[in-house]
Amino acid sequence: MKLRKEIIGNCTLYNATMEKTIGDVQADHIFTDPPYLYIKTHDFDKEFDEQLLFKQARRMLPDNGFIALFGRGASFYRWNTRLADLGFIFKEEIVWDKRLGGSPTLVLSRIHETLSIYTKKNGKINKSKVPYIEQKGHDVNGIINDIKRIKGAINSDAGLNNIIGFLKTGDIKFSRGYNRSSVTNSSGFSCKDKASGILRSIKNGMREKTIMSVYHCHHGSVHPTEKPVRLAERILALISNEGDTIYDPFMGSGSFGVACINTGRKYIGSEINQKYFDIACKRIGEAVKAKQEELFKEVS
C-alpha cells in the first residue's frame, strides 16, 4: 500500500497504517479510538501492533503528555495493563453516556463507552467548564430542584441578600455549617450559599464530570464507530491546551481532527481505509474553511 499524505491547515493526514507512520511522529498528546477487536465481521476492526504503539508513545510524548483512548472488553483492559507496565500513570476514566441504545437485538441496551486517560509522567488534567444546559439539560429533575432552590432563597431575606450580593460582585457568601455529605461529617467547615452557586453555574458553566452525556445519533454518521465531535472537544479540553499537537493513529472519519480544528489544536492522523481517509479529508477541510471564515468575521 502506497503511503498518501495530505496537509490541510494545521492537520497532517496519512492514508496508511499506524505502523508505517508512527515512527516519524512527534506530538504532545495521543487521543484515539483504536479497533476494539471484537467485531470481526467489519473491515475496520483489525489487529494492530499494540506493543509498538505504546512504546512509541513513550518515545514521542513529553513528560506531561497524555494518552487517552476509548475501548471495550478484553482488549481495552489489556491496553490499560500494557500502559501501566510501561510506566504510564493512570489519571482518570471517562464514561461516555450516549443517551441512545445500540442494537435492539442485544440482551442489554448498551448506552456507554469508556475512555482511559494516562500521563507519561506528570501531566495534570485541566479544569474545564461546560455550559449549564449542556451539562444538565438531560436531568430535568435536577434543573427543577435548582429552580426551587433559587426560588426558596429569593423568598427569604438572607437568601435574597446573598443572591443580590453575588449579582453585584460575583462573590458567593460562605458560612459555617454542617456538611452531611462530608466523609468526615465534621461541623467546622465553610459552606457556600447554594442558590448563588447555582446562579454562578448558569452564568459560568459547570465543572466537567467523569460521565459525559453527549447524544449520539447514528443518522448522518459515516463510520460505524464514529464519536461525536462535541464529545472529542470536551475530552481535549481536559488533556490539552490550544496550540498542542494531537496524534490519532486510528483516525476513522476524522471526528477528532475536526474537534482539534474547532479548539485550536494541531492534528496528526493516520487511517488505513481509503474510503474513510477521503471522508476525513473532506470533513477536516470543511472544518478548516469554517474556522477561517469565523476568524475573518471576528477581525472584520
Helix (H, G, I), strand (E, B) or coil at 25: coil
pLDDT tens profile 98-140: 887 766 777 888 889 999 999 999 999 999 999 999 999 889 9
CA distances to 103, 160, 187 from 193, in Å: 45, 11, 16
Whether the pLDDT of residue 224 is over 70: the answer is no
229-239 helix and 255-262 helix, angle to the nearest 10 degrees: 60
All residues at 6 or more sequence positions from 47 whose CB lies less than 8 Å from its CB, including other chains: 35, 37
Average pLDDT over residues 217-242: 84
Nearest Cα neighbor of 264 from 10, 6, 8 is: 10
Centroid of chain to Cα 186:
35
CA distances to 67, 115, 129, 249, 253 from 11, in Å: 19, 23, 26, 13, 14
Average pLDDT over residues 1-21: 92
Average pLDDT over residues 43-58: 87
* Percentage of the chain exceeding pLDDT 70: 88
Domains, the chain, with CATH or none: 4-128+208-299 (3.40.50.150), 132-206 (no CATH)
Q: What per-residue confidence (pLDDT) applies to 40? A: 58
State the Cα–Cα distance between residues 288 and 280, nearest whole angstrom: 12
pTM of the model: 0.87
Contact 239, 125 (CB under 8 A): yes
Task: Please state, rounded to an integer, the average pLDDT across all residues of the chain.
Answer: 89
Whether the pLDDT of residue 82 is over 50: the answer is yes
Q: Which stretches of the chain are assigned E, i.e. beta strand?
A: 4-8, 11-15, 29-32, 66-71, 89-97, 112-119, 129-130, 174-177, 189-192, 206-207, 211-213, 245-248, 266-270
Contact 266, 41 (CB under 8 A): no
- For 225-266, the DSSP string reads TPPPHHHHHHHHHHH--TT-EEEESS-TTSHHHHHHHHTT-E
Q: What per-residue confidence (pLDDT) applies to 41? A: 56
Q: What per-residue confidence (pLDDT) applies to 99? A: 80
Contact 60, 26 (CB under 8 A): yes
pLDDT tens profile 143-181: 999 999 999 999 999 999 999 999 999 888 876 554 544
State the Cα–Cα distance between residues 234 and 130, nearest whole angstrom: 8
| One-letter amino acid for residue 263 of the chain | T
pLDDT tens profile 178-194: 454 444 445 555 578 89
